[in-house]
């Protein structure tokens, strides 16, 4: 392991056993609340987590639902700032059940904000805004502005993610105004740093510098490392854009050290990426390579896929209640719109016969991977697959048999692939596969496994047993023109032609020296 990566090896979700959390010990709720909040504020996530989980268990047993929701929101903040969401969050299901049963309260508004924030992290920004709107509705009903600083900041960040900058700047201005009313240094630091991020996007460097400086001062007053790191990253970006590269690297190194020390994985991924990119521009390739290695490791940790599945499942099973009983009709309309949007998305991205991604969506995914490969060194390969003599199947057994063959072959290919491989029906009897993080040699092995899987299949249709083979062309991005999607798939298609020319039922690899021959 590299020297830079060594300090990141400690897992934060296996904390030492604390005597306080012994189930047989008497529970001091006030102490748990105060101590868990203090540990979160000082970014001691490995300690804040068990205290907060213990607090949630105790409050659930006591039946104190509003306090439970407040602790749940604290737990979501720990997961976001630490940057690692577990595969399953037990408290999410109970929190959502409470939402559907409780009268308006500050904690209900706070929890709607927290769930909206989860959707923001999942990049479902429209859904995030639905929950934010519900939170604002409850706050107005209660005539309460205690959540205004964070509410408007969340809205600003979501507007910015949607490239709606005028609305983002208006919202962050409201957040700053609300912060000034309560004079909470941590809230001020958070909003100032977000303001700075927005001004960088608007290329207002002097204004951004002032906001980050105020954010850094407020974070130091609050003794909060997380916002200190955010401010340092922002100040580094400003100095870099002003061609003060050495100063930017020095500031980012401070941010890196703080993020590593406090296990802030979300910010650690961000700062290691800019460090790696900048060192590469400075031709410090060894240092850049070490930071890229850490970035890739941290970026993998940030995956929300399993947690997203849990949230979606709760939603689809109607355990999520985004509108209380007074707004039942509005809730129904929102759910119907969500259902229609989901159905449209499925129709737009999948092949109706096989259930695989369609060609258009495959191009979108492939473009995303190829663009990432230009920024981060990634090996990407692709395959084009064609069912041999497919027309004979249609002619001999009929088109319904051909459809059944396409479905069975699609399932067989999918079962032969790895988790990250992306399969689509390219058109007719052709399939295409994108293989992220895969060099040409590994791609050949996958292709041969697919070929053998199909060759060994027996498809039973009515009184017939149909056996068939496929031809496969393989290519990699490294040898593709300008590392482009069309170049990659074009080479794979040329390799497929080679496989057909060789007699079918085989795999061929694109050769840049002589692409039309073996």
Residues annotated catalytic, as ranges: 429
> For 434, phi and psi rounded to 5 degrees?
-105, 135
Asked if residues 96 and 129 have their Cβ atoms less than 8 Å apart, the reply is: no
Distance CA 144, CA 123 (A): 28
> For 470, phi and psi rounded to 5 degrees?
-130, 155
Asked if residues 514 and 494 have their Cβ atoms less than 8 Å apart, the reply is: no
Please return the burial class of 427, using the count of CB atoms within 10 Å of its CB with bins 0-12, 13-18 and 19+. Answer: exposed
354: tokens are 């096989």
Asked if residues 384 and 472 have their Cβ atoms less than 8 Å apart, the reply is: yes
Q: Which of 202, 195, 198, 201 is nearest to 216 (CA)?
A: 195
301: tokens are 């940790």
- Can you tell me which residue has the tokens 């904690």? 107
Distance CA 440, CA 204 (A): 45
Distance CA 66, CA 429 (A): 57
Asked if residues 444 and 471 have their Cβ atoms less than 8 Å apart, the reply is: no
Q: Kindly report each contact of residues 2-10 with a partner whose C-beta sits within 8 Å and lies 24 or more positions away, as own/partner.
A: 2/290, 2/293, 2/294, 3/290, 4/290, 4/291, 4/293, 4/294, 5/290, 5/293, 5/294, 5/297, 7/260, 7/261, 8/260, 8/268, 8/294, 8/297, 8/298, 10/263
Helix (H, G, I), strand (E, B) or coil at 181: helix
Q: Which of 141, 97, 140, 142 is nearest to 115 (CA)?
A: 97
Asked if residues 159 and 167 have their Cβ atoms less than 8 Å apart, the reply is: yes
Q: Kindly report each contact of residues 393-398 with a partner whose C-beta sits within 8 Å and lies 24 or more positions away, as own/partner.
A: 393/466, 393/468, 397/461, 397/464, 397/466
Q: Which residues, listed in sequence order, are joined to residue 507 by a DSSP beta bridge?
A: 472
- The 8-class DSSP code of residue 26 comes to P
């Amino acid at each position: 392991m590299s020297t830079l990566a060594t300090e990141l090896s400690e897992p934060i979700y296996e904390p030492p056993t604390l005597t306080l959390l012994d189930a047989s010990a008497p529970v001091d709720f006030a102490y748990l609340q105060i101590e868990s909040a203090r540990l979160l504020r000082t970014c001691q996530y490995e300690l804040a987590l068990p205290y907060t989980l213990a607090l949630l268990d105790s409050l659930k047993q006591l039946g104190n639902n509003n306090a439970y929701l407040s602790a749940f929101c604290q737990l979501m903040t720990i997961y976001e700032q630490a940057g690692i969401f577990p595969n399953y969050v037990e408290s999410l299901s109970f929190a959502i059940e409470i939402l559907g049963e409780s009268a308006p309260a500050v904690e209900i508004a706070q929890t709607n904000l927290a769930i909206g924030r989860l959707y923001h992290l999942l990049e479902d920004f429209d859904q995030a805004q639905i929950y934010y709107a519900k939170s604002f509705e409850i706050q107005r009903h209660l005539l309460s502005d205690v959540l205004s600083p964070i509410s408007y900041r969340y809205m600003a960040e979501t507007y910015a993610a949607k490239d709606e900058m005028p609305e983002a700047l208006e919202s962050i201005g409201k957040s700053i105004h609300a912060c000034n009313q309560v004079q909470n240094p941590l809230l001020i630091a958070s909003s100032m740093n977000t303001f700075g991020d927005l001004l960088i996007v608007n290329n207002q460097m002097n204004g951004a510098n002032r906001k980050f400086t105020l954010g850094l001062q407020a974070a130091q007053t609050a003794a909060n490392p997380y916002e200190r790191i955010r401010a340092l990253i922002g100040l580094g970006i400003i100095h870099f854009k002003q061609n003060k590269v050495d100063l930017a690297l020095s500031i980012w190194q401070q941010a890196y050290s703080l993020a590593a020390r406090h296990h802030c994985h979300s910010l650690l991924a961000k700062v290691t990426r800019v460090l790696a990119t900048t060192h590469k521009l400075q031709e410090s390739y060894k240092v850049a390579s070490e930071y890229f290695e850490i970035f890739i490791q941290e970026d993998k940790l940030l995956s929300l896929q399993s947690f997203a599945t849990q949230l979606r499942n709760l939603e689809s099973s109607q355990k999520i209640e985004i509108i209380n009983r007074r707004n039942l009709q509005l809730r129904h309309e929102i759910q119907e719109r969500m259902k229609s949007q989901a159905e449209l998305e499925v129709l737009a991205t999948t092949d109706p016969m096989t259930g695989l991604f369609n060609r258009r969506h495959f191009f979108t995914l492939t473009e995303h991977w190829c663009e990432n490969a230009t920024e981060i060194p990634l090996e990407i390969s692709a395959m084009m697959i064609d069912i041999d003599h497919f027309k004979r199947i249609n002619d001999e057994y009929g088109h319904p048999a051909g459809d059944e063959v396409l479905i069975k072959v699609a399932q067989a290919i999918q079962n032969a692939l790895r988790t990250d491989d992306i399969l689509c029906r390219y058109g007719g009897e052709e399939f295409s596969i994108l293989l992220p993080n895969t060099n040409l040699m590994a791609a050949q092995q996958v292709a041969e496994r697919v070929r053998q899987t199909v060759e060994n299949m027996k498809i039973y249709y009515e009184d017939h047993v149909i056996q068939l083979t496929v031809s496969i062309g393989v290519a990699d991005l490294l040898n593709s023109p300008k590392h482009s999607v069309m170049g990659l798939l074009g080479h794979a298609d040329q390799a497929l032609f080679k496989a057909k020319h060789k007699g079918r039922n085989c795999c061929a690899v694109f050769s840049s020296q002589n692409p039309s021959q073996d």
